[in-house]
Structure 1
Amino acid sequence: MSLSEHIKWNEHGLVPAIAQDWQSGDVLMMAWMNAEALELTLKEQRAIYYSRSRQALWRKGEESGNVQRLHELRLDCDGDTLLLKVEQIGGIACHTGRRSCFYQLADQQGELAVTDAVLKDPDEMYGSKA
């Protein structure tokens, strides 16, 4: 049985995929994959996701240059979430120009504080698309 057959795809044929730095263990981002994105990720050994807003595949880093090279891919115990252990080429995973998409820390009252600085201006990476 192939990996795709073990996955519990949602009603849209998607599964959440968490990208984690393969050395530090830092969680970098979460995106969605469909079966084609999964197949291409394994084949090309780089993260390829599915954009729900564009209804199309996107190769991480195709515009920004911040590619995610795949080191390991795991499926969780329920079969409904993927974990990609990646090397973040360029050091920036978030479209905001930060290393990680998880840069907002909630305190006990639920107030958010920004914890990570912008490493590169998104306009420099994407033009006016960010």
Structure 2
Amino acid sequence: MTHFDTAFRGPRMSSVGWLSHEETFAYYEQSDICVVPSVWREPFGLVAVEAMAAGLPVCASDIGGLRDIVVHGETGFLFPPGDGKKLAAKIERLLDDAALRGAMGNAGYERVLALYTWDAVVERHYLPMFATFRKGKTG
């Protein structure tokens, strides 16, 4: 057992190690919130998007791509990387307020549908790129 495994054992928290895609979503279904405490600038926070797709509010470090995914106060909370006290306060607020968890979870789910489905990504990123290529060839 690693130090991480020992530190994160408790009645409301667990460390499960590496999971398959299916297992990951099974855990999301059993969860009330998702915490993404990154300390490095993740270019894209897939865990945050997956959790939001599962209807969970997300507490994430205010760093890298996470700040573009999580809308502070709407789909979850952002906190300064490495600030355990602020993270704990955000977690406590969410765990103490089921209505807030539900509202943020729903807002996150809607954000995923609007921005992160394959159709949305193609429409926002790929179609404009291909239109530019096409104009270059014909114009």
Normalised by the size of structure 1, how large is the TM-score?
Answer: 0.26
Tell me which protein shows more strand as a share of its residues.
1
Normalised by the size of structure 2, how large is the TM-score?
Answer: 0.25
Whichever of the two has the greater Rg, that structure is: 2
Tell me which protein shows more helix as a share of its residues.
2
